[in-house]
Amino acid sequence: MKTILCYGDSNTHGSLPMATIDDDDRLGPTARWSGVMASSLGDSFCVIEEGLPGRTTVHDDPFEGAHLNGLRILPAILNSHRPLDGLVIMLGTNDLKTRFAAPAADIAIGVEKMALMAATLAHPPRVLIVAPPPVRELGCLTEYFVGAEAKGTGLAEALRFRAGRVGAGFFDASSVISVDPLDGVHFGADAHRDLGKALANAVTSMMDYPT
């Protein structure tokens, strides 16, 4: 059995589009993209979901805490689930918040650092870097993502470039889904389904590729 770790933010956690800032609804385990992916991959794969709302690539959140720094926490998560055959990273959305002022090129470097960290394990997993779909400045999250649409321009290509540098696979989520217009950040149930199926194919291709 191959073990795949999915490392991401609220869109891996399964947070639903928010009508108000206090909404905290979440899709069920089998409806989240990681659950759909697991079902599509079948019994020969074990899919582990590690999605944390607010998680960034390399930033300590000055308001919500250092635990949201994806790079800081990653070593513990990698080692708690080892040995791993595959690592799917979908991060970068929260880096586009106004408070971080991070351009696309820097966000991609942060994800590259995670892939390099995974490569230091005794039995390094294959890595698939997923570019999240572009953020839109809409709804109750607009004030947190002022300027995100402009800053996010080119993020997919920057992530593709960094994936190539470290020998990781790459998938652009915007090729199959888009964010929900209710809040411009999160995915609806249909998007989770479509992304999960697409990523199952990407993971299968990655794991079948000869070393």
Domains of the chain, CATH where assigned = 2-208 (3.40.50.1110)
pLDDT in tens, 92-132: 999 999 999 999 999 999 999 999 999 999 999 999 999 99
- For residue 65, list its beta bridge partners: 61
Three-state DSSP class for 105?
helix
Q: Closest by alpha carbon to 130, among 98, 97, 185, 87?
A: 87
Parallel, antiparallel or unpaired: strands 126-131 and 169-172: parallel
pLDDT in tens, 41-66: 999 999 999 999 999 999 999 999 99
> Using CA atoms, how far apart are residues 133 and 63, in angstroms rounded to an integer?
25
Three-state DSSP class for 149?
helix
Q: What is the pLDDT of residue 210?
A: 53
Q: What is the pLDDT of residue 209?
A: 62
Contact predicate 84/41, CB 8 Å: no
Q: What percent of the chain has pLDDT over 90?
A: 98
- Read off the pLDDT of each residue in 200-209 and give the average, rounded to a whole number: 91
